[in-house]
Amino acid sequence: QFFVFCHGLLQLSQLLVSGYLKSSISTIERRYGLSSQTSGLLASFNEVGNTLLIVFISYFGSRVHRPRFIGCGAILVSLAGFLMSLPHFITGPYEYDQSVASMFSNTTDLCQPGVPGPRGNLSDVGCTPHAARENHEVLLVMFIAQALLGIGGVPIQPFGISYIDDFASERNSPLYLGILFSVTVIGPGVAFMLGSAMLRFYVDIDKVTGDDVQLTNKDPRWVGAWWLGFLVAASLVAISAVPYFFFPREMPKEVGKRDFPLVLLRNLRHPVYLLVVLAQVNLSAMVAGLATFMGKFLERQFSLTASLANMIIGAVNIPGAMVGIVVGGAILKRFQMSLRQCSAMCVLGMFLCLLLAFPLLFLGCPTQKVAGVTYSESSEFGHHTLECNLQCNCPEKAYNPICGSNAIEYISPCSAGCRVVNTNADNNAVLNYTNCSCISENGLAGFAKPGTCGTGCSHLFLPFVVLSCLAGILASTSHTPSFMLILRSIQPEDKSFAVGIQFMLLRVLAWMPGPVLYGSAIDTTCILWEKKCDRKAACRYYDNNLFRQR
């Protein structure tokens, strides 16, 4: 029982490391200027290390000291977690364009007609060879950490489950494995809650004092302390690893030898097995993509903070999926279903899920009006140049969105032609911008507030959450019956092998490509890219309608 307790704790903290990355992905994109395709690849990269080794490990399972192997794997996972937070400590502080001169820079992004020529700004500082190299190092460290995370995770689940199954009484074994399974479902929920808590702190909380931070967490340039959660999760893994070095090896029951390729073919030729696994692959690819980018979607569609988006996913969507899994299992048990009824139940669950998810295509709003990007009052002027700010000599890449009193968003105070910034005397926070030549109200120069205008979609947020949660519950009811279809349609002695093959196919065909495909699809809907040294970095604005539909 102590082993089951330790294993539950270890699996929870291991899932915290991998799930936390998904919760902070939109923040890491913004901090290091990554496209969603790159961040999707990063999020699924741990599956690479995992898949390469899983077959060998399952095969050698009975010949090694399993607890010690689990302990070593856990130490690798913990190392990977600490590595994930390393980029924060090897790079300088986060820089963003400012209207008020500060310790970082004396250039501001106000309209200054007297200043000759296009002014350089912070974004160009990042073009030295050193800065470019720094960016490569960050990506390299993160990809290595993800690979290590996958490799370290390999022995944890299979060895733990087989160890418990070998030494627990026949009566208690299902209970113990049920406990572990529920932990693996709760894990990602806890990870999103951890993300929600950490992203409320400013990223450079350890490098700058509170007074120097001019951003609030509502600002689109806000970057939360993404690295803190990795330190928390990695420390938890390290603590959970300790007891494993003290569990006994014990002789496992011997299992008869078996022919590897023959069994593989026999299973793959089985039509029910193959069809159910392919159905699960399609569903899992969707779940993998959603888990990675759902937070980002909520942030953009409904103008939420990253912290709130994670809170919703961790407290509503994931528990919903758990309810669905439990309900599906309960129905199975209550009605003692045949295989045909199992498949009918899967089909019904999916069909109802599609019906409920269909309205989600329409629950959202277009991108807010952004001058020169999604909206121009006079179309004869090219992209970005408005007549009213020609004399301002705006820095080309400035990004410091403001919302005009005319409800149109401008990329920076300069592009709105604002000449005056009013700050709070106590903490230097920007109150508003005035004297803006592009924002005309009744012939007078208008004013603007810092931050984005938002999509004005908040009234659709609740229906969206309710529908997506219900659709998730319905889709998850098919989880247990689809497993039953697999377990009962193949020969009993092939069971563990068939499940191993199934998980490998899910990894290779769903968990790995899912987030990358989703990320690429999201990238195609970008309207304005941040440029770093002439390469595309993170996306500033998406076409929200396309983002939602795709």
Contacts of 401 (CB under 8 A, 6+ apart): 220, 221, 370, 409, 410, 411, 412, 450, 451, 452
The per-residue pLDDT for range 363-413, each reduced to its tens digit, is 888 888 888 787 766 543 444 455 777 778 777 777 888 898 888 888 888
From 200, 194, 291, 203, select the one nearest 235 (Cα to Cα).
Answer: 194
Q: What is the dihedral of CA 504, 506, 509, 512, to 10 degrees?
A: -90
Q: What tokens does 399 get?
A: 């990004």
**249 class by beta-carbon count within 10 Å (0-12 exposed, 13-18 middle, 19+ buried):** exposed
Question: Which string of DSSP letters, residue by residue, matches 110-132?
Answer: S--TTS-SPPP-HHHHTTSHHHH
Token digits for 494? Answer: 């092939």
54 C-beta neighbours (distance < 10 Å), count: 21
Written as six digits, the tokens of 178 are: 């049920």
Q: How confident is the model at residue 127 (pLDDT cuts 50, 70, 90)?
A: low
Say what the pTM is: 0.80
Helix (H) / strand (E) element for 230: namely helix 226-241
**Which phi and psi angles does 375 have, rounded to 5°?**
-160, 135
Q: What angle do CA 352, 473, 19 make, to 5 degrees?
A: 135
Closest CA to 42 of 64, 20, 25, 59: 25
Determine which of 166-170, 283-287, 479-483, 484-488 has the lowest per-residue pLDDT on average. Answer: 166-170
Given a cut of 70, whether residue 245 has pLDDT beyond it is yes
Tell me the percentage of the chain whose pLDDT exceeds 70. Answer: 84
C-alpha–C-alpha distance, residues 313 and 308, integer Å: 9
Per-residue confidence (pLDDT) for residue 61, from 0 to 100:
59
Mean pLDDT of 19-45: 91
Show the tokens assigned to 13: 């903290």
The answer to whether 244 and 70 are in contact (CB under 8 A) is: yes
> What average pLDDT does the segment 153-157 reach?
85
Please state, in angstroms and rounded to a whole number, the distance separating the CA atoms of residues 407 and 183. Answer: 47
**Residues 150-160, mean pLDDT to the nearest whole number:** 85
Do 225 and 306 touch, CB atoms closer than 8 A? no
Q: Which of 24-33, 267-276, 490-499 has the lowest average pLDDT?
A: 490-499
Residue 135 has pLDDT above 90, yes or no: no
- What pLDDT score was predicted for residue 126? 54
Residue 493 pLDDT > 60: yes
Return the CATH class of domain 1-113+130-256.
mainly alpha
Poorest-pLDDT segment among 306-320, 347-361, 444-458: 444-458
pLDDT digits (tens, 9 = 90+) for 206-237: 887 766 777 777 888 889 999 999 999 999 99
User: How does residue 54 score in pLDDT terms, banded at 50, 70 and 90?
Assistant: confident
Q: What local confidence, expressed as pLDDT, does residue 384 receive? A: 46
Alpha-carbon span 482 to 212, nearest angstrom: 55
Q: Work out the pLDDT band at 457, boundaries 50, 70, 90.
A: confident
| 130: pLDDT strictly greater than 80 | no
Give me the mean pLDDT over the 530-536 stretch: 78
Per the prediction, the chain carries an average pLDDT of: 83
Strand-pair category, 444-450 with 430-441: antiparallel
CA-based radius of gyration for the chain: 26
- The confidence score (pLDDT) of residue 498 equals 74
How many CB atoms sit inside 10 A of residue 246's CB? 10
The reported pLDDT for the residue numbered 369 is: 86
Q: Is the pLDDT of residue 147 over 90?
A: yes
The per-residue pLDDT for 136 is 84
Which candidate, 21, 74, 10, 11, places its Cα nearest to that of 192? 21
84 pLDDT above the threshold of 90: yes
Q: Which of the two residues, 446 and 381, has the higher pLDDT score?
A: 446
Identify the residue whose tokens are 């069994």. 263
The CA-CA-CA angle for residues 83, 162, 288, to 5°, reads: 50
Kindly state which CATH superfamily the domain 261-368+458-549 is placed in: MFS general substrate transporter like domains (1.20.1250.20)
250/149 Cα distance (integer angstroms): 28
Under the banding of pLDDT at 50, 70 and 90, the label for residue 131 is: low
> Which one of 125-134, 281-290, 421-430, 500-509 scores highest in mean pLDDT?
281-290
- What are the tokens at 536? 């595309």
pLDDT score recorded for residue 453: 87
Question: Token pair of 127, please?
Answer: 């073009």
Mean pLDDT value of segment 339-343 = 91
Type and span of the H or E element at 542: strand 535-542
461 or 219, which is more confident?
461
- Domain boundaries of the chain, sorted by first residue: 1-113+130-256, 261-368+458-549, 387-450
Confidence of residue 59 (pLDDT cuts 50, 70, 90): low
Compute the distance between CA of residue 142 and CA of residue 135 in angstroms, rounded to an integer.
11
> Would the CATH topology of 1-113+130-256 be identical to that of 261-368+458-549?
yes
Q: What is the mean pLDDT of residues 242-260?
A: 68
pLDDT of amino acid 265: 66
For residue 185, the model assigns a pLDDT of: 75
Mean pLDDT computed over 343-370: 92
What is residue 312's three-state secondary structure?
helix
**Is pLDDT of 284 > 80?**
yes
How far is Cα of residue 123 from the mean position of the Cα atoms in its chain?
A: 26
Per-residue pLDDT at 447 exceeds 50: yes
Structure tokens at 421: 């910034």
Query: Which region among 7-16, 111-120, 445-454, 494-503 has the lowest average model confidence (pLDDT)?
Result: 111-120
